[in-house]
Amino acid sequence: MSGALDLDGRVAVVTGGTRGVGAGIARALLRAGARVVVCARRPPDEPVTADGRTACFRPVDVRRPAAVQPLFDELASAFGRLDLLVNNAGGAPFRLLEDADAERHARVLELNLTAPLTVSLAAHRVMRRQPAGGCVLMIGSVSGTRPSPGTAAYGAAKAGLEHLARTMAVEWAPAVRVNTLVLGMVRTESAHLHYGDTAGVAAVARTVPAGRLAEPDEIGDAVVFLASDRASYITGASLLVHGGGERPAFLAAARAHPSAPSAPSVTTFEEP
């Protein structure tokens, strides 16, 4: 690990850090030397560890402001500092808009947008008092940059989260940096719930230019970079971590047609 990416002694909080992407982020931070606290409603099945070091666990429901602020006050007292917050907690079931009422969709917005705002405000109250300030990272999604049928409220929340981060970056500068990681598909322990069996995951992976899904620890590596001194001038930014995104569907459709050329042709447009 390069010294510039060394987070030795820094204190990081990862919401939803007990499994999946959050656990990958926590492991990467532990390897970089940070003292890591993972938060969730329930404790992990196994402690989150890396390189012989273990993340601390604190129970909290990030949707409850009355529980969030006392947690950050307790962490500030226990560790004496707070350097990094990663707003990772979130998610949503597949649900078409017409299959639920507005109240149910609003709960998705609450978890994926309002809760990160609540947690960020609590962290900022600690970070703003520190000479070195701090860093807040939002875990966004490509669902917030394209249509998301079946997860419309989730996509809307992630779009709002990215905008919220940009505004925070301006209001809280220069003491606190705020950035967003815009994630594509990640291979987690629950990938089968979204993409099916092994063959389904492989088929989905072929739609990604990189040829595979991301691993949770790779997301963690991007977090370590943005939390490090190497990223000291980066704030209000969105880092795409999606393996190149998604191949345009029209290319596959064209290649599947019998009259299609072997390679896409250049299309020219004439003025009317």
Q: Could you give the residue numbers annotated as active site?
A: 154
Q: How many helices (DSSP H) and strands (DSSP E) are in the chain?
A: 9, 9
User: Contact 81/35 with Cβ under 8 angstroms?
Assistant: no
Query: Is the peptide bond between 147 and the residue preceding it cis, with omega within 30 degrees of 0?
Result: no
User: Contact 215/177 with Cβ under 8 angstroms?
Assistant: no
Cα gap 123→127, rounded to integer Å: 6
Token digits of residue 230: 């190497």
Cα gap 29→24, rounded to integer Å: 9
Give the residue from 207, 199, 201, 181 showing the smallest Cα distance to 189: 201
